Structure 1
Amino acid sequence: MELERMQRRRRFRRPVFSRLTWAWLSAFVITVTIGGFVIRDAMNGGGVARIALPVDEIETVARVAEVHRKNGPLATVPALRDGDSSAPAEETTDMLASGDAFGQDEDNSLTLIYPGLDDPFGDDEYSGDDYSGDEIVITITGNDKPAAQPQLASLGPMVQPIPDPDAALMRQTALGQIPKISPDGRKAVEYYAKPFDGGHSTPKIALIIGGLGLNSAITERAIDDLPPEVSLSFAPYAKDLEFWTEKARNAGHEVLIELPMEGYGGNQQALGAASLLTSRTPQENLQRMDWLMSRFGGYFAATNYMGAKISADEASIVPILKKLKEAGVGYVDDTGAAKQYAIGLGLPITTVTGIIPAAASEEDRSKVRRELAKLERIAEQDGRAVGKTYAYATTIDEIVEWSRRLEEKGLTAAPASALLQTSAVAR
């Protein structure tokens, strides 16, 4: 019996591995594990890929600082940050900017010129330049999961983000999704407005920075450096608008969409193919409104870019204002002409009381300071003031410094949405 038990134990004894065998097994397991991670990243789009995109399938806007004129030699577009306005006036019509295009008015003031684009509405005179399909190569990095945002300790107040676009507040048109009033009555003008405690009696000043999205460096500075109470307005012809406006909302800024509108004098083609003009029928302007309003979501209001002429033309401006009201969107007007029509329609509107100059250099900084001081006086007298400007580095620098001293002067920075009104007596 004893012999039989010993033979049985010997028969079922576990195999004995040598150290070399264990080393080989460990190496095999490690190799398989690393290989699995590599295969997973490859399947999920990780690593770096270079994708050549045909230009005729994407927007041909926000280009490099040197572009070809349609029928002439290479023209240099002025830079947004240095404010160079050396380009001849007759060339500004054909300039297609990388977010840096500014023209020069007769009074030597700098005027933002929207870049051209292929006209989605069939007007050949607004067509942009031709490009080959080999011009753009995009490098894509990372995988399909966004990196986690680092959580940093802050001694300042916590910023409350503006909500992301809500599908219930959007409707589909032939040219894209635009805002609408939701079935439960919610409106973009309220849903995407920055929360503001207006209970205190201190005078309020709202500032709007326009022309954003055309220059990535300036846009990022405006989002990161300006106080969240400053409202940010984005140009419709800029690219990556969903990215930039989401970044702005996450930083606590409420956002607006700019409507290129006909002013007095100048070449209206500089406003781009989607501009709103008195020479167009209301139906043609409203079709362009569908395209403009579909550029991105999450904005509480629209604002004019230029627009003094069309804003004073009742037959042209009233259909535009009606469309904004039906969409549940507010309006910020810097011409002073649209308010009489908007109030009659019950459209939430505020009128700009001061235009802050776009400072192209440190020498112009004193002009910004002077206009901000005027806004302070208006606010002290009327209890409210609304300023508007366009994105320049020096202008942003001065507004950042000015905002730090505002509270000690007995004034309150307010988002533009807090100063909207729907009746002639409202403040």
Structure 2
Amino acid sequence: HEIVMQVPLEPFDYPNVNPGRNTLTVSASPDENLKSLHWALSRTTNYTGVMNYMGARFSADASAMQPFIAELGKRGLAYIDDGSSSRSVAPDLALKDGVPFVAGDMAIDAVQDRGEILKKLDSLEATARAKGSAVGIGSAFDITVDTVTSWITEAKKRGIEIVPISAVAIDPQKG
């Protein structure tokens, strides 16, 4: 298993929708944003990557994203984009800065209901069969963890292999 740290990034309707304390914003200086990033990264250990929590506005702004992505690269961390914004500049910046990158195919727990999560997982399975792999984005809610855990058992019987996020990351360092 791998742990991915969610970091709060500015959404378009910020501050009306506020991802929380120490949100990285486009109006903050690179130093201020790096201070907020360092604070978030200090909350726990043993993560292999960082994923945006909200952040459509921040992830669409190359001047805000570049120092953020570069810092992840210095730390040997991957960037996982939740895939919710087509405006994200993260793929190009990650490639340029040599940072492993993954884009999510879909959020599986926007509705925290077992039946709805199972529907998303079935859709994710169909995506994986069509594309060869798929990345589902979920949070560590009890309902998500319990539902995914039981679904994995059945999915394995259908030939679905669950792999760490690093196994599907595009790693510019490895070509």
TM-score range relative to shorter protein: 0.7 to 0.9
- The Cα offsets for residues 18-58 of structure 1, whole Å up to 9 and x where unpaired, read as xxxxxxxxxxxxxxxxxxxxxxxxxxxxxxxxxxxxxxxxx
Asked if 1:277 corresponds to 2:29, the answer is no
- Aligned partner of 1:351 in structure 2 is 103
For 2:26, the aligned partner's letter is T
Shift of 1:269: 7.5
Shift of 1:296: 2.3
Shift of 1:414: 0.7
- Aligned partner of 2:53 in structure 1 is 305
Identify if the C-alpha distance between structure 1 residues 394 and 292 changes in structure 2 by more than 3 Å, giving closer, same or farther.
closer
The within-5 A match list for 1:156-195 is none
CA separation in 2, counterparts of 1:312 and 1:268?
Answer: 19
- Aligned partner of 1:193 in structure 2 is none
- Aligned partner of 2:94 in structure 1 is 342
For 2:12, the aligned partner's letter is Y
Shift of 1:277: 0.3
For 2:130, the aligned partner's letter is Q
Asked if 1:391 corresponds to 2:112, the answer is no
Shift of 1:275: 0.9
Tell whether the 8 Å contact from 2:11 to 2:17 is kept in structure 1 after alignment.
no
Shift of 1:359: 4.4
Shift of 1:413: 0.7
Q: Which runs of 4+ in 1 moved over 6 A?
A: none
Asked if 1:376 corresponds to 2:128, the answer is no
CA separation in 2, counterparts of 1:323 and 1:317?
Answer: 10
- Aligned partner of 1:124 in structure 2 is none
SS in 2 for 1:285: helix
CA separation in 2, counterparts of 1:287 and 1:310?
Answer: 16
SS in 2 for 1:413: coil
Q: Which runs of 5+ in 2 are unaligned?
A: none
CA separation in 2, counterparts of 1:254 and 1:295?
Answer: 16
The CA RMSD measured in Å over matched residues stands at 1.9
CA separation in 2, counterparts of 1:320 and 1:384?
Answer: 27
CA separation in 2, counterparts of 1:255 and 1:398?
Answer: 18
For 1:262, the aligned partner's letter is E
1:411 aligns with one of 160, 163, 167: 160
Tell whether the 8 Å contact from 1:356 to 1:387 is kept in structure 2 after alignment.
yes
- The Cα offsets for residues 61-96 of structure 1, whole Å up to 9 and x where unpaired, read as xxxxxxxxxxxxxxxxxxxxxxxxxxxxxxxxxxxx
CA separation in 2, counterparts of 1:311 and 1:304?
Answer: 8
- Aligned partner of 1:260 in structure 2 is 8
Bigger relative contact order, structure 1 or 2 (CA pairs below 8 A, ≥6 apart): 2
SS in 2 for 1:414: coil
Q: Computing the radius of gyration over CA atoms, which structure comes out larger, 1 or 2?
A: 1
Identify if the C-alpha distance between structure 1 residues 269 and 383 changes in structure 2 by more than 3 Å, giving closer, same or farther.
closer
Tell whether the 8 Å contact from 1:321 to 1:347 is kept in structure 2 after alignment.
yes
Shift of 1:261: 0.4
Identity %, equivalent residues? 31
TM-score normalised by the chain length of structure 1:
0.38
Shift of 1:348: 0.5
TM-score normalised by the chain length of structure 2:
0.87
Tell whether the 8 Å contact from 2:69 to 2:99 is kept in structure 1 after alignment.
yes
Shift of 1:412: 0.3
Q: Which runs of 5+ in 1 are unaligned?
A: 1-252
Asked if 1:314 corresponds to 2:62, the answer is yes
